[in-house]
Amino acid sequence: MAQAQEPVTISIRAKAGQRDLIDQAADRLGRSRSDFMLEAACRRAEDVLLDQTYFALDAKSTAAFQAMLDQPPLPTDRLRRTLKARTPWGTVAAAGKVVGQRGK
């Protein structure tokens, strides 16, 4: 495995529209395409690895954790607005439906 200090080249193919979308986002952040893509790819890689990390809880902690999962916080007006907002690529984030509403 290459050491962290040694730069390596990573090449990918993309459609023009994908490249333009990435360039637009990178430009908004004042970043280069390469910096933007590398940061985004590393963030996603970390998410995937963290999602698959095993953790163990004792019985009491497991029950408390399960209770939190079974009773998520109520959606707020801000969340509803966010879910109804159009994305830069032209679709509604979650079709305006808020999942997990209680009493509705």
pLDDT digits (tens, 9 = 90+) for 32-89: 999 999 999 999 999 899 888 888 899 999 999 999 999 988 999 999 998 888 877 7
80 in Cβ contact with 100 (< 8 Å) = no
Q: CA of 33: how far to CAs of 7, 15, 18, 30, in Å?
A: 16, 14, 12, 10
Q: What's the angle, vertex CA 87, arms to CA 76 and CA 95, rounded to 5?
A: 55
26 in Cβ contact with 36 (< 8 Å) = yes
pLDDT at 102 > cutoff 60: no
Q: pTM here?
A: 0.50
First to last CA, the chain: 53
